[in-house]
């Protein structure tokens, strides 16, 4: 998988020795720039724009996000609780499969409760009715599967064959929308405007008979809106057109776009040996700290990597997993024990996916403002964090 982010931005002048290792460092100024771009698209198109917490849940910057966007979207009870505690604005919750015991609180904190199938909506009808009797104010949405694949990697494509995500659009019937206020779909992953246009063109004939019944349409996330070459004017015109045609409130749920190029992951070389090529062990683990490197897979960009030379070194983590390999790199300042380095564009998805497999320590979390040079350690982790996840 090719990632089209990785701009060093202000991190090109950040001293990696100012933080411990490993460490996530997020630039508040970069977040503000991304959020301003998103807010501009929102304002020009007249839509609602929610930040996807599944990609970036650094609640220390929730007040900043609230200054620009209309709220957040969450993926179940725990994210919804976090949103209720720290974020402002609307909360839209979607989960592929709800538990009955979780729904009362989800209904309490959410403005939109989005289901994966009409069967779930019917099965939980009594729970939803009871919540409304208690005075909870929320509406119900249905996620559909447009059956129009656009993704580069099937593992990340909600429209891949036999996908579990969303109700197949070719099965949608009028009865499925009883009590449903809106339709949700999410099909993109780090993509431009054109795949969204194609998806809507495929979906529109199926939804057109229901436009008058629907209050909102949610086009999900995966839109790389804050990337420099994204077609933002075309997106704005498209969203204006859809609003006018459907009469619906339109939502977007960018996640990666909120924190694109806004964070790095700092690491240290622990050891170097030769096994047909230089091989370095680092305190950054692909499997523990950047699992998408293995799952996608993809090669994260390195801050200051040299473009040429015959001295590439293979970097891998400290875990016992043989496949805990990040990739081959030409280090900017050579490679020896103690060398500091950083991977770019690691604020989103990496931070939310970290694990303590093998007892590998979690990276600390720092907030830097490249405009003021203020640096704050937001969170660090200790042995107890590892111990208390076990029994």
* Residues pairing with 91 in the sheet: 72
Rounded to whole angstroms, how far apart are CA atoms 37 and 317?
36
Query: How confident is the model over 302-331, as a mean pLDDT?
Result: 96
User: What pLDDT was estimated at residue 223?
Assistant: 95
Residue 341 forms beta bridges with which residues?
A: 267
The mean pLDDT value for 37-66 works out to 98
pLDDT digits (tens, 9 = 90+) for 226-248: 999 999 999 999 999 999 999 99
- Per-residue pLDDT of 194-225, as tens digits, reads 999 999 999 999 999 999 999 999 999 999 99
Three-class DSSP category at 25: strand
Percent of the chain with pLDDT over 70: 99
Q: Is the pLDDT of residue 152 over 80?
A: no
Task: Answer whether residue 371 shows pLDDT above 80.
Answer: yes
Question: What local confidence, expressed as pLDDT, does residue 115 receive?
Answer: 98
What average pLDDT does the chain have?
96
Please tell me the predicted confidence (pLDDT) of residue 1.
63
Q: For the chain, percent helix, then strand, then coil, each to nearest 5?
A: 35, 25, 40
Report, as an integer, the average pLDDT of 329-345. 97
Task: Report residue 65 CA to chain centroid gap.
Answer: 14
What backbone torsions phi and psi does residue 282 show, to the nearest 5 degrees?
Answer: -120, 170
pLDDT at 145: 97
Computed on alpha carbons and rounded to an integer, the radius of gyration of the chain in Å comes to 22
For position 282, what pLDDT does the model report?
Answer: 98
- Per-residue pLDDT of 99-140, as tens digits, reads 999 999 999 999 999 999 999 999 999 999 999 999 999 999
| pLDDT bracket for residue 289 (50, 70, 90) | very high
Q: How far apart are CA 34 and CA 347, in angstroms?
A: 13
Residues 178-190 pLDDT 10s = 999 999 999 999 9
Instruction: For residue 166, name the pLDDT band (cuts at 50, 70, 90).
Output: very high
State the pLDDT at residue 253. 98
Q: Which residues contact 326 (CB under 8 A, 6 or more apart)?
A: 282, 284, 286, 290, 293, 299, 300, 315, 316, 317, 343
Domains of the chain in sequence order: 9-25+262-387 (2.40.37.10), 46-259 (3.20.20.10)
Mean pLDDT of 342-360: 97
Q: What is the mean pLDDT of residues 313-336?
A: 97
First to last CA, the chain: 37
Write down the pLDDT at residue 2: 66
pLDDT at residue 156 in the model: 83
């Amino acid at each position: 998988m090719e990632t089209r982010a990785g701009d060093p931005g202000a991190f090109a002048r950040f001293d990696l020795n100012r933080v411990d290792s490993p460490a996530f460092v997020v630039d508040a100024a970069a977040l503000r720039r991304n959020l301003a771009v998103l807010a501009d698209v929102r304002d020009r198109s007249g839509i609602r724009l929610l930040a996807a917490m599944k990609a970036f849940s650094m609640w220390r910057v929730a007040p900043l996000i609230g200054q620009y966007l209309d709220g957040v979207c969450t993926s179940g009870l725990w994210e919804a609780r976090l949103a209720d505690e720290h974020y402002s604005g609307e909360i839209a919750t979607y989960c592929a499969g709800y538990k009955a015991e979780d729904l009362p609180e989800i209904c309490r904190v959410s403005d939109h409760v989005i289901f994966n199938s009409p069967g779930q909506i019917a099965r939980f009808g009594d729970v939803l009715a009871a919540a409304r009797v208690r005075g909870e104010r929320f509406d119900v949405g249905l996620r559909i599967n447009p059956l129009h694949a656009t993704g580069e990697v099937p593992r990340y494509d909600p429209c891949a064959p036999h996908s579990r995500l969303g109700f197949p659009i070719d099965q949608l019937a009028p009865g499925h929308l009883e009590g449903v206020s809106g339709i949700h779909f999410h099909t993109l992953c780090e993509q431009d405007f054109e795949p969204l246009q194609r998806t809507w063109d495929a979906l529109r004939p199926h939804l057109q008979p229901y436009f008058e019944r629907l209050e909102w349409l949610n086009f999900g996330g995966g839109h790389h809106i804050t990337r420099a070459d994204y077609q933002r004017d075309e997106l704005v015109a498209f969203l204006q057109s859809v609003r006018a045609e459907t009469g619906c409130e339109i939502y977007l749920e960018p996640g990666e776009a909120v924190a694109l190029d806004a964070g790095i992951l700092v690491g240290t070389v622990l050891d170097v040996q030769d096994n047909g090529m230089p091989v370095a062990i680092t305190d950054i683990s692909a499997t523990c700290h950047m699992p998408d490197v293995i799952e996608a897979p993809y090669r994260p960009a390195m801050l200051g990597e040299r473009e040429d030379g015959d001295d590439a070194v293979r970097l891998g983590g400290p875990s016992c997993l043989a496949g805990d390999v990040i990739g081959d790199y030409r280090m900017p300042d050579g490679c020896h024990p103690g060398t500091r380095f950083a991977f770019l564009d690691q604020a989103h998805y990496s931070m939310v996916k970290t694990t303590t497999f093998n007892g590998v320590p979690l990276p600390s979390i720092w907030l830097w403002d490249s405009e003021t040079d203020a640096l704050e350690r937001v969170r660090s982790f200790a042995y107890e964090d590892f111990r208390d996840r076990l029994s």
